């Protein structure tokens, strides 16, 4: 029995699943920001937390530390003390994603934060990597 390389290659390609060339599946919704006096309100904060698959309190703790201000969550929105520009808040959310959401090994957003004793780890569901992350 003689095998033809080209036919075998075509058969193998037909059996392999399509791989998406798109690496970034996670897209943040545009922040709905309103400034009233000396307060900045993000109306769709819960939606952002759901897209990132993170606890809203964890995201809020990161943002309040980076902005050096106080904030409160009310229903689906968050209110910051002070005026902040939309681009600076979006940049901070991108930094949050890089540190606490995106896997440093495979660059996918399929991760969860696991706390073991006093340490926190970013565990990737896609590649199985376990990376330490800083405490908030």
Least Cα distance to 111 among 45, 47, 58, 71 occurs for: 58
Angle 19-23-24 from CA coordinates, rounded to 5°: 135
11 phi/psi in degrees, rounded to 5: -65, -40
| Three-class DSSP category at 110 | coil
110 and 120 together in one domain: yes
113 class by beta-carbon count within 10 Å (0-12 exposed, 13-18 middle, 19+ buried): middle
Q: Work out the percent of the chain whose per-residue pLDDT is above 90.
A: 57
pLDDT digits (tens, 9 = 90+) for 85-134: 999 999 999 999 999 999 898 888 889 999 998 899 999 888 888 999 98
CATH number at residue 39: 3.30.70.3150
pLDDT digits (tens, 9 = 90+) for 21-45: 334 567 888 899 999 999 999 999 9
Domain that holds residue 129: 103-136
At 43 the pLDDT is 93
pLDDT digits (tens, 9 = 90+) for 65-80: 999 999 999 988 999 9
Least Cα distance to 31 among 51, 13, 17 occurs for: 51
pLDDT, mean over the chain: 87
128 and 67 together in one domain: no
39 and 90 together in one domain: yes
51 and 80 together in one domain: yes
Strand partners, 80: 40, 71
Which H/E stretch holds residue 92? helix 86-100
At 96 the pLDDT is 93
E-assigned strands of the chain?
A: 33-36, 39-42, 71-74, 77-81, 111-116, 119-124, 130-133
116 and 77 together in one domain: no
42 and 95 together in one domain: yes
* Residue at 17 is within a domain: no
Number of domains in the chain: 2
Q: Whole-angstrom Cα distance, residue 117 to residue 75? A: 31
């Amino acid at each position: 029995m003689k095998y033809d390389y080209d036919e075998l290659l075509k058969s193998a390609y037909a059996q392999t699943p399509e791989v998406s060339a798109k690496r970034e599946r996670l897209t943040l919704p545009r922040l709905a920001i309103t400034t009233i006096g000396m307060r900045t309100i993000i109306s769709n904060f819960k939606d952002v937390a759901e897209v990132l698959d993170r606890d809203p309190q964890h995201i809020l703790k990161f943002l309040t530390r980076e902005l050096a201000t106080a904030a409160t969550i009310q229903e689906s929105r968050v209110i910051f003390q002070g005026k902040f520009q939309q681009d600076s808040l979006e940049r901070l959310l991108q930094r949050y994603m890089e540190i606490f959401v995106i896997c440093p090994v495979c660059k996918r957003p399929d991760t969860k934060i696991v706390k073991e004793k006093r340490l926190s780890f970013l565990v990737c569901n896609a590649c199985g990597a376990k990376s330490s992350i800083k405490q908030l």
